[in-house]
Chains A and B, each alone.
Chain A
Amino acid sequence: MINAIIEVFPVLMRGINITITVFIFSAIFSYLFAFIAGLCRVSNNKFVRGGTGVYVEIFRGTSLIVQLFWLYYAIPMLFDVGIDNRLMAGVLAISLNYGAYMSEIVRGSILAVEKGQTEASIALNLSRAQRMRIVIFPQALRMMLPEFGNYLIQILKATSLVSLIGMTDILYHGNILRSTNLSAAPTVYLLLLIFYFIMALPLIFLTRKGEQISKRGVAS
């Protein structure tokens, strides 16, 4: 067993850079899409609201793997201009998908800020943009934190899908190893679980932190 681990470990380590790279970019863009779409969803303009709603429902309502294949295989073929870059396709698919989910958190949190806060800022004659930026959004952000942490962990786990478009992440290297050495399967998948878990640990910690900040509310 120890020998097997010693054999498998360095192979998986070859994929760690890809996994972490895909994760970091996906996390950044997921948040970006989530904030943009979430703010559009509370816009005054019904076309902006409706259009964003369509995006959110389509990406929430279909499979992430299929979206990934669309971006990487189908769209380049249909339009001839496409994403021949695996990293870009992988990150885009994950971010569009999780951005859609998380935009609902953004929207829900903004709507959950007490109505009196808006009224008080109208009474102080703040503009619409100032109301959102100075009063509503900072309070909504605190409500978003715990859920945002949860999604961060999910995004990490979703990065394993990019092995399906040939990105050489830890799962990809593990699968290759297993196909050449079938008896290594238990060790490979055990180690993969441990890899993901160890990478998730700081995120779990972050989520806890987010929960604390959120629970403490806004007063300290």
Chain B
Amino acid sequence: MVDSVKEKNSSGSYSSNTGPIVEYKNVHKSFGDVEVLKGLDLDIYPGEKVALIGPSGSGKTTIIRMLMTLEQPTSGEIIVDGKNLCHMEKNGKLVPANEKHLREVRGEIGMVFQHFNLFPHMTILQNCMTAPIQVQKEDKESAKRRSIEMLEKVGLGDKLDNYPSQLSGGQKQRVAMARALVMRPKIMLFDEVTSALDPELVGEVLEVIRDIAEEGEMAMVLVTHEMDFALEVADRVIFLDDGVIAEEGTPSEVLEESDNERLQQFLYRFRS
């Protein structure tokens, strides 16, 4: 499996750096008494598109929320671009990361949420240009220009001065993607981004993700229930079950050829 990824890397469609950009090392995560992740080992390579599938409660959303530093692992380590995400070195010892350390590491990561989480008191242009100005200290003109470009790219160039509440769900989600993209992350996380949408709006959002994926340079991790979409866009599909990786491989290996019984049951529910 890993070989196939490396092949792709050397084929030139991705960054020439073949080391992983994200490494999960024996990561455990519990909420109270419930252990959601039971020792996760997972490498994600630059430019790779990974789809995480699995029944609810299997820990897939937790995996990306930990990467975005919205949850802390109970144990284990996450390395992003060679830097330890949740711990930092202090006097030769590893201690929990402070705000400053977190801000350094998570700058390379962007995330799109199931419920959009746009800032309702800002226009969509302000939603996009605030972070580059405040966080990356980009000058206002250039942040504005890039935000407009990005919003045009997701098909919302005519809505710049609208507020989020004036948009449809699909439009909101496209704004959320533009907002994350102007930060130029190396890794983009998508947390069930179509789950809260009316069925007829799903297509326009997937269309944008497909476009982003085709540009290729960004690693993408998608938690999704859209199996056909995963098949089409992902380089690798990971099936999580009960806190462990139960199956992984290319989309066709996992979604079409696997004989894992739990996976079959899971897929059956989606296809029926």
Interfacial residues, chain A to chain B (CB-CB below 8 A): 114, 116-117, 119-128, 130, 134-135, 138-139, 142, 217-220
Contact = CB atoms under 8 A, between A and B. Distances in A.
Given A128-B99, A218-B165, A123 B110 contact: yes
Nearest to A44: B99
B68 interface: yes
Contacts of B163: 218-220
B120 A122 contact: no
A122 B70 contact: yes
Interface stretch (B34-42, B127-135, B200-208): B127-135
10 contacts: A116-B115, A116-B117, A117-B119, A120-B113, A122-B69, A123-B106, A125-B131, A127-B99, A130-B135, A218-B120
Contacts, number: 70
A126 B131 CA distance: 7
B8 interface: no
Contacts of B176: 120
B68 A123 contact: yes
Contact of B130 (A116, A119, A134, A142): A134
B166 interface: yes
Nearest to B104: A125
Given A119-B113, A128-B99, A219 B134 contact: no
B183 interface: yes
B65 to A, nearest CB: 8
A124 B183 contact: yes
A119 B134 contact: no
B118 interface: yes
Interface string B117-155: 111110000000011001100000000000000000000
B201 to A, nearest CB: 19
Interface string B74-90: 00000000000000000
A123 B163 CA distance: 20
A130 B107 CA distance: 15
Contacts of A116: 113, 115, 117
B51 interface: no
A218 B121 CA distance: 5
B134 A134 contact: yes
A58 B99 CA distance: 34
Contact of A125 (B103, B117, B164): B103
